[in-house]
């Protein structure tokens, strides 16, 4: 399957599952292909045929964007260089969950979450320690007796009951022995219980060309988080408020207009405002992304004035298009 067909299939699957899906981020550089929202769940999705091309830089950027936009970064892919991704298994690359299309279909459309995750050494499951302890006591088995049945140490069984995860082989043995489900699904939206703890990615420095814009936004009360591989140059949030803004900056070229459209689409999904700062233009906005000349934004004194100007530009565009 070509990557273009795979992307189309994944987008259709997400829409069938009730997600609002953004336009495809068809600009470079990019860390994610689409953003999608269903209720309170927001995901940033990278779609790949071979997940080996998903490198540290892209993974770090996706995790960074996840923090900025209250979203879950996610990769949907077909294979590694050596093998197909197994259905029903969550993999991890650079701290980001990776699913096969079948696993994503089960999770999002059928609402059947995966039970298995891949980690160094093999495939594992989450054991519900309290259920295991109750089941063992119901059969009047001691820790030592259960350990003997499983071929592990008494200490290992004690750790299972304290919440340590188990290999798939041990989980099968346990469920056969007790004739009851003992595993918890992997929560793709909160996967920290099954992956190694990753330190939060740090902010990166802004491009020198964007530093004047960053200085203005900072002066009027925004925390500015520059990006490296996104259709926008930064995610900015107003100090003390849950107001977020995607910001871009360049001359107003055809590529800039394309970026502004993608920013609008991503903004609708992530419920953020989008602003593109240009040197000169007679237009007010591009499909919901406000266009502001550099000299205008440099003259703004506070965050309220900036938000009012953005709202005015977007409303003017909306009125003129009706």
What pLDDT is recorded for position 75? 97
Better pLDDT: 192 or 276: 276
CB 232, CB 274: distance < 8 Å = yes
pLDDT single digits (tens) 68-83: 999 999 999 999 988 9
The contacts found for 28-33 with CB under 8 angstroms, 24 or more apart, are 29/228, 29/229, 29/230, 30/229, 30/230, 30/231, 31/58, 31/61, 31/62, 31/65, 31/228, 31/229, 31/230, 32/62, 32/65, 32/73, 32/230, 33/7
pLDDT single digits (tens) 175-234: 888 888 888 899 888 866 555 556 678 888 888 888 888 999 999 889 999 998 999 999
For 312, how many CA atoms within 13 A lie in the half-sphere containing its CB?
Answer: 7
What pLDDT is recorded for position 242? 65
Given a cut of 90, is residue 59 above it in pLDDT? Answer: yes
What pLDDT is recorded for position 193? 57
Mean pLDDT of 234-261: 88
What pLDDT is recorded for position 195? 57
What pLDDT is recorded for position 121? 82
What pLDDT is recorded for position 24? 94
Given a cut of 60, is residue 161 above it in pLDDT? Answer: yes
Mapping DSSP onto H, E and C, the string for the chain reads: CCHHHHHHHHHHHHHHCCCEECCCCCCCCCCCCEEEEECCEEEEEEEEEEHHHCCHHHHHHHHHHHHHHCCEEEEEEEECCCCECCCCEEEEECCEEEECHHHHHHHHCCCCCCCEEEECCEEEEEECHHHHHHHHHHCCCCHHHHHHHHCCCHHHHHHHHCCCCEEHHHHHHHHHHHCCCCEECCCCCCHHHCCCCCCCCCCCCCCHHHHHHHHHHHHCCEEEEECCCCCCCEEEEECCCCCEEEEEECCCCHHHHHHHHHHHHHHHHHCCEEEEEECCCCCCEECCEEEEEHHHHHCCCCHHHHHHHHHHHHHHHHHHHC
What pLDDT is recorded for position 239? 65
What pLDDT is recorded for position 249? 92
pLDDT band with cut points at 50, 70 and 90 for residue 64:
very high
pLDDT single digits (tens) 123-144: 999 888 889 999 889 888 898 9
- Please work out, in degrees rounded to the nearest 5, the angle formed at the alpha carbon of residue 42 by the alpha carbons of 23 and 27: 30
Please tell me the least confidently modeled range out of 55-59, 61-65, 118-122.
118-122
**C-alpha–C-alpha distance, residues 60 and 203, integer Å:** 10
Domain annotation for the chain: domains and CATH numbers: 3-114 (3.40.1350), 123-184 (1.10.260.40), 208-321 (3.40.1350)
What pLDDT is recorded for position 28? 84
pLDDT band with cut points at 50, 70 and 90 for residue 87:
very high
Mean pLDDT of 45-60: 94
What pLDDT is recorded for position 119? 86
**C-alpha–C-alpha distance, residues 103 and 86, integer Å:** 8
Tell me the pLDDT of the chain averaged across its residues. 90
What pLDDT is recorded for position 304? 86
**C-alpha–C-alpha distance, residues 70 and 35, integer Å:** 12
What pLDDT is recorded for position 208? 87
**C-alpha–C-alpha distance, residues 281 and 37, integer Å:** 32
Report residue 4 CA to chain centroid gap: 21
**C-alpha–C-alpha distance, residues 143 and 136, integer Å:** 8
pLDDT band with cut points at 50, 70 and 90 for residue 318:
confident
- Please work out, in degrees rounded to the nearest 5, the angle formed at the alpha carbon of residue 102 by the alpha carbons of 2 and 29: 45
Axis-axis angle for helices 143-150, 168-178 (nearest 10): 120
């Amino acid at each position: 399957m070509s990557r273009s067909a795979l992307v189309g299939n994944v987008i259709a699957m997400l829409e069938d599952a009730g997600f609002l899906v953004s336009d495809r981020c068809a600009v470079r550089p990019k860390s994610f292909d689409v953003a999608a929202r269903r209720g309170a769940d927001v995901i940033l999705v990278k779609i790949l045929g071979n997940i080996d091309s998903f490198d540290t830089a892209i993974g770090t950027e996706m995790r960074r964007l996840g923090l900025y936009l209250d979203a879950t970064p996610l990769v949907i892919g077909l294979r590694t260089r050596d093998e197909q991704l197994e259905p029903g298994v969550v993999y991890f690359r650079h701290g980001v969950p990776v699913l096969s299309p079948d696993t994503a279909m089960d999770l999002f459309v059928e609402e059947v979450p995966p039970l298995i995750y891949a980690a160094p050494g093999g495939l594992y499951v989450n054991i519900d320690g309290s259920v295991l302890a109750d089941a063992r006591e119901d059969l009047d088995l001691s820790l030592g007796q259960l350990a003997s049945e499983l071929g592990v140490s008494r200490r290992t069984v004690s750790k299972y009951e304290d919440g340590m995860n188990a290999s798939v082989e041990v989980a099968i043995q346990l469920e056969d022995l007790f004739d009851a489900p003992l595993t918890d699904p992997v929560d793709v939206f909160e996967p920290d219980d099954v992956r190694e703890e990753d330190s939060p990615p740090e902010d990166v420095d802004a491009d020198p060309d964007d530093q004047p814009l960053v200085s203005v936004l900072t002066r009027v009360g925004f925390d500015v988080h520059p990006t490296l591989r996104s259709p926008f140059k930064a995610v900015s949030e107003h100090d003390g408020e849950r107001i977020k803004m995607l910001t871009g900056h360049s001359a107003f070229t055809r590529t800039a207009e394309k970026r502004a459209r993608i920013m609008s689409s991503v903004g609708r999904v992530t419920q953020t405002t989008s602003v593109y700062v240009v040197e000169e233009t007679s237009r007010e906005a591009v499909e919901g992304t406000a266009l502001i000349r550099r000299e205008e934004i440099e003259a703004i004194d506070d965050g309220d004035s900036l938000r009012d100007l953005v709202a005015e530009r977007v409303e003017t565009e909306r009125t003129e298009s009706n």
